[in-house]
Amino acid sequence: MTAAITIQGAAKLFGGRSVIGEVSAEVRDHEFVSVLGPSGCGKSTLLRLIAGLAPLDGGEIRLFDQPVRAPAANVGFVFQTSNLLPWCDVRANLLLGVDLDPGAPRPSEAALAELIATLGLSGFEESFPHELSGGMRHRVAIGQALIRNPRILLMDEPFGALDALTRDRLNMELLRIWQRDRKTVVLVTHSIAEAVLLSDRVIVMSERPSRVIEEVTIDLPRPRDPSRTREDPAFGDYLVRLSGLMGVV
């Protein structure tokens, strides 16, 4: 299968101190991979390196076999906090990235309506961020990344600040969206359960200077849904195994 992301001996220093020691990993096209690791081990930094938002200090990262040298057009990024403009409605917020980049192709009205429907935001096109729930705001943020139809979607703890119920709903939405068009996804999360529920594979990183401790393939049937998948005894086994690797138990 085609490799979407190839990371070979990636290293990153800040102020002369090694943050990412040496990370090597591969993500296949259409694969959903989560990254777990202790706080401060360089997970956000790794995503920024993949997106070409920061330079490497060693090693190489390739997207579809092309070395990353600048912010990559085929990558969508969902940041830790959703940065919606309060004075723009949902539609304008979704189109922000397209409007700000004269080179970006503008989606047709039909494509925009389809994206809004996929995000479960039909009827809210003209609502402003303060009129939306936290979950809806996060879905707009995901839409901002999806609107340019990237081949790779990088998500940095996108649901971190949400309550458990909203998080469950968004996980379900994300599964539905992913199952529909199967983009390559790398999700950084601090939730072991979320990683198991969503992923084909989970990469566990060490304390910094970080390296990959282990990669765990999540062999649970798809399509998944949070309540049914959690009842699968194998789900519990994965939680125990990953908790052990994370030093939680």
Ligand X SMILES: Nc1ncnc2c1ncn2[C@@H]1O[C@H](COP(=O)(O)OP(=O)(O)O)[C@@H](O)[C@H]1O
Summarize as ranges the residues that interact with ligand X (CB under 6 A). 14, 19, 37, 39-45
Which run of H or of E encompasses 213?
A: strand 212-217
Segment 71-110, which members bind Mg ion (CB under 5 A)? none
Least gap, CB of 1 to ligand X (angstroms): 28
Q: Which amino acid is at 17?
A: R
Residue 44 touching Mg ion (CB under 5 A): yes
**Is 159:167 a contact under the CB 8 Å cutoff?**
yes
> Which residues contact residue 175 at a Cβ distance below 8 angstroms, ignoring those fewer than 6 apart?
197, 198, 223, 224, 225
Taking the complex as a whole, the smallest distance from the CB of residue 97 to ligand X amounts, in Å, to: 22
Residue 14, binding choice from Mg ion, ligand X, none, Cβ under 5 to 8 Å by partner class: ligand X
Question: In Å, how far are 39, 80, 208, 230 from 50, measured between CA atoms?
Answer: 19, 16, 18, 31
Q: Which does 55 bind (CB under 5 to 8 A by kind): Mg ion, ligand X, none?
A: none
224 binds, among ligand X, Mg ion, none (CB under 5 to 8 A by kind): none
Nearer to ligand X, 89 or 157 (CB): 157
Q: Which is nearer to ligand X, 43 or 138 (CB)?
A: 43
> How far is it, in rounded angstroms, from Cα 22 to Cα 9?
5
- Residue (42 or 76) nearer to ligand X, CB: 42
CB-nearer residue toward Mg ion: 18 or 44: 44
**β-bridge partners, 152:** 75, 184
Per CB under 5 A, which region of 15-23, 36-44, 172-180, 238-246 contacts Mg ion? Answer: 36-44
* Stretch of 40-48, 121-129, 136-144, 225-233 lying at the interface with Mg ion (CB under 5 A): 40-48
Query: For ligand X, which is the closer residue by CB, 41 or 140?
Result: 41
Whole-angstrom CA distances from 222 to 179, 197, 219, 234 are 9, 10, 9, 13
Evaluate whether 24 touches 16 at the Cβ level (below 8 Å): no
Residues found near Mg ion in the complex (CB under 5 A): 44
